[in-house]
Amino acid sequence: MENTKIEFEIAPELIRQEIATTLKSTPASLAEMMAHLSNSQGKNIRGYLAALTAADQAQMVGTSAIKAAAAIEILHLASLVHDDIIDEADTRRGKPSLHAKYGKKNAVIAGDYLFCLCFSLISEAYSQGTSVEYIDRISDFSKAMSALCLGEIHQSKHNFDFDLTLKNYLKIIGGKTASLFALSMYSGARAGGLDHQSAKVYGRIGSYFGIIFQLIDDCLDYEGEAGVAQKPVGKDLREGIITLPLIYALKRDPQIKEAFAIGIPDETIFDQMILKVKALGGVDHTKALAYKYYMKTAKLISGLEDPFKKLELNKMLDRIYDRKM
Amino acid sequence: MENTKIEFEIAPELIRQEIATTLKSTPASLAEMMAHLSNSQGKNIRGYLAALTAADQAQMVGTSAIKAAAAIEILHLASLVHDDIIDEADTRRGKPSLHAKYGKKNAVIAGDYLFCLCFSLISEAYSQGTSVEYIDRISDFSKAMSALCLGEIHQSKHNFDFDLTLKNYLKIIGGKTASLFALSMYSGARAGGLDHQSAKVYGRIGSYFGIIFQLIDDCLDYEGEAGVAQKPVGKDLREGIITLPLIYALKRDPQIKEAFAIGIPDETIFDQMILKVKALGGVDHTKALAYKYYMKTAKLISGLEDPFKKLELNKMLDRIYDRKM
């Protein structure tokens, strides 16, 4: 495809359309599932970051970067579909999850199919570049996806592990969430013409964005208000996913894990634990760590040259840090 | 990587090593699962066909074709891992399936990780070529993987559908089995230097190999002897997978589906149905169709120029057609 330039302003809408077109251009047997996913698109933050980072100083961005941004969102979507199967989550983005609506079998296959769509889109996106560039981009995508899988495996290994350390927790979220954010900004920067070394700074900012995103997510699991949060409060804990609010609370009062001593406790105990974790300062402590990453990220952003990117990245930083759902 | 040439004779062993090395070079958290898969490698027929097709007239094959062959086997492995989750199969190649041994969660992720490994291997394999060649090969892999997913989705849609037609059955096996065989031989031929048009003949031979492979597989499900077949007899039927032996038997005696009229029947009924399908000639009829494809394939092979490939492909044709397990 030809890599024409468009105004960055319309990039988010074009990414949304590219995703919808890709999902809807599937054969009949998968069309219904893909339409379901297309109709519940998220905020496409990862794709937005990829396109923003690829923009030039005149705030113009190549159509190939739009395709690559859509590919990242579709990779994200693939991981969500499989994630929901793994976590047995019934809802996603306020709608029934794919496996809840179409069954596990179909959802496993649909996730695999989304991986194919992602690689097809990258092929289209980078078809104008040199062989070396192209291989590098494919390799970036495989590596990010590998890191994501490793994060998930780690999380699964530490299911209901009340001795999970901060270090291992950070390793988990570094894989399952930060790797895709890092990919977005690193590959965006490369698509925008930066060399590996310069693009790495963007990759690091992306990685921090991902960590903040996940830290806030983990707080919301303990304090989100029903109806506002798009997932039920306490979902992680019920599934045995140990996150920082709990890790911190356990440090202050190791007794709270006793509730699990004779197996999975009942609903009332879960509700009590959620209150205890909050009362012990687990959520506040997690937010404090998120703030540290906020400051580190802001510092990196301030070192960038392009004023437009600085402005937009700062906005995104606030948006990720302050989000309530 | 440099594309040095090696003797085709040692290709199968090199493919096996390449797969083992790739699987074993994974981080600790996945290492046990990958070692389990590595220790139960199959016959690597698809990889063998890819390397054979890539060989030159002096029976030498490039190391990049070996990597590509390993990538195809790893793609196949990824699909098997997810397949076993979907079909709830407890064994694979005579050993516990991955999800049976490590749980569904881990198996879903391990399958995804195998997809990553596959794309990493292709990146290495084709890194010497031009950008266009490389994109074409990635695109071939995505397309084959998409076709595979579509075949699986079709199969899932027609679960326990006793009205499944021959046409739709062939569509299912064309996707779930023939697409990877076709990829092996088409991409092997391209790696060997053939243009699209000439490589297509190899792709078609591959596709027929896949169809014959699946037809024989479906016969074995009805007649395999316990202890010889590596999967239990009647497994497909018990899972609601409708295959040609049953389709044909249903044509001759539509009554046999009555056993399912009030839900899933008990084990004795299954055993009786398997005997009935055989008695009604379902297996013989399926073998007759496999023979038709055998003849079509033999004709295509006879039209090839390289005497070594002709010889080896004919051997493989016999091996696939005559296999007892």
pLDDT in the model for residue A21: 94
pLDDT of residue B135: 76
What's the predicted TM-score (pTM) here?
Answer: 0.89
Residue A158's φ and ψ, nearest 5 degrees, are -95, 20
Q: pLDDT by residue (tens digit) across B25-63?
A: 888 888 889 988 888 878 899 999 999 999 999 999 999
| DSSP secondary structure letters along B205-274 | HHHHHHHHHHHHHHHHHHHPPBTTBSS-TTHHHHTT---HHHHHHHHH-GGGGGGGTTSS--HHHHHHHH
Q: So what's the pLDDT on residue B307?
A: 94
Q: Which positions of chain B have pLDDT values less than 50? A: 227, 229
B102 touches chain A (CB under 8 A): no
pLDDT at residue number B225: 61
Q: Tell me the count of A-B CB pairs closer than 8 A.
A: 136
Beta strands in chain B (DSSP E): 5-7, 60-62, 91-92, 95-96
Give the distance, in angstroms, between the CA of residue B187 and the centroid of all CA atoms in the same chain. 15
Long-range contacts: B256-265, Cβ < 8 Å, 24+? B256/B280, B257/B162, B260/B160, B260/B162
Name residue, tokens 């992680």.
A236
The CATH homologous superfamily to which domain A133-325 belongs is: Farnesyl Diphosphate Synthase (1.10.600.10)
By CB neighbour count within 10 A (0-12 exposed, 13-18 middle, 19+ buried), where does B227 fall?
exposed
Q: What is the pLDDT of residue B231?
A: 60
Which sequence spans correspond to the domains of chain A?
A: 1-128, 133-325
- With CA atoms as reference, the chain B residue closest to A78 would be B112
Chain A residue with CA closest to B139: the answer is: A120
pLDDT in tens, chain A (325 residues): 677 899 999 999 999 999 999 998 888 888 889 988 888 878 899 999 999 999 999 999 999 999 999 999 999 999 999 988 888 888 887 889 899 999 888 999 999 999 989 988 888 887 777 767 777 888 888 889 999 999 999 998 899 999 999 999 999 999 999 999 999 999 999 989 899 999 999 999 999 999 999 999 999 999 866 545 556 678 888 889 999 999 999 999 999 888 877 777 788 888 889 999 999 999 999 999 999 999 999 999 999 999 999 999 999 999 999 987 6
What is the pairing mode between strands A60-62 and A91-92? unpaired
Residue A87 vs residues A84, A100, A120, A162, B110: alpha-carbon distances, Å: 5, 11, 28, 18, 15
Contact A112 B111 (CB under 8 A): yes
Q: Do the domains A1-128 and A133-325 sit in the same CATH topology, yes or no?
A: yes
Q: Give the other-Cβ count within 10 Å of A12's Cβ.
A: 18
Q: What is the pLDDT of residue B318?
A: 97
CA distances from A270 to A160, A255, A259, A286 (A): 13, 14, 9, 20
> B122: which 2 tokens?
């292709």
Q: Which CATH superfamily is domain B136-325 in?
A: Farnesyl Diphosphate Synthase (1.10.600.10)
| SS3 label, residue A229 | strand
In chain A, what residues touch B152 (CB-CB under 8 Å)?
Answer: 109
> What pLDDT, on a 0 to 100 scale, did the predictor assign at position A228?
52
Question: What phi and psi values does residue B275 have, to the nearest 5 degrees?
Answer: -65, -40
Min Cα distance A86 → chain B (Å) is: 5
Whether the Cβ atoms of residue B144 and residue A184 lie closer than 8 Å to each other: no
CATH architecture of A1-128: Orthogonal Bundle (1.10)
ipTM of the complex as predicted: 0.86
Specify the pLDDT at position B132: 74
Interface of A with B in 57-96 (CB under 8 A): 78-79, 82, 85-86
Q: B168 touching A, CB under 8 A? A: no
Q: What three-state secondary structure class fits B43? A: coil
